[in-house]
Amino acid sequence: MTALIVAVAVAIAASLLVIPLLAAARRRAAARAPVPGTPVASQDELRARLLALAGDNGPIAVREEGDVIVATWQLMGIPWATLSFRAKLRRTWALRLTIGDGVVLARLLVGSVAWETAAATWMPRAVVTWSNPRVPTFGDDAEPIAIVPEAPRDVGQLVAHVRDVVVRAGYRFEPTA
């Protein structure tokens, strides 16, 4: 019995040590520095480029919240959000971006999605509850792909599109916990 208790305690202690190490490794893997010699845009220019990422009715929504820029998948007013699409989309992600001197710090939020339909318009409405993940996963090392209605709306593609804009502006993209 004592050996079992010791084994469980060791397993818990090991997991408490390994989880932060895995999170740090995932953040390092998602970080990117600009190519040497890339001209550095002003912070205002980078802010404008990030806000332009949304486009007209685009699939990525970008908004300012004080000094922070928040980028997430567009969930409101999307006519292609069919019943089958809504049945599959139960989680979404957001990046809270803080622009500093030569670096953009990115904090990941995970959203739990519940769908409601307005009786007057029959347009689906997403209700999102945001939380901070215990071990943030910034997705794989994907390159941005063209976004079409059938494209995956995963964390890796959101990070890839935002990171591409940041790095092309001459800034380092740095995920944070």
State pLDDT tens for residues 90-130. 778 888 999 999 999 988 888 888 777 766 556 667 778 88
Task: State the pLDDT at residue 22.
Answer: 47
The reported pLDDT for the residue numbered 40 is 92
The string over 99-137, giving b where at least 16 C-beta atoms fall within 10 Å of a residue's C-beta and e elsewhere, is beeeebbbbbbbbeeebeeeeeeeebebebeeeeeeebb
Short-list 93, 95, 120, CA closest to 106: 95
Q: Which residue type does 164 have? A: D
Closest CA to 105 of 136, 134, 130: 136
Q: How confident is the model at residue 155 (pLDDT cuts 50, 70, 90)?
A: confident
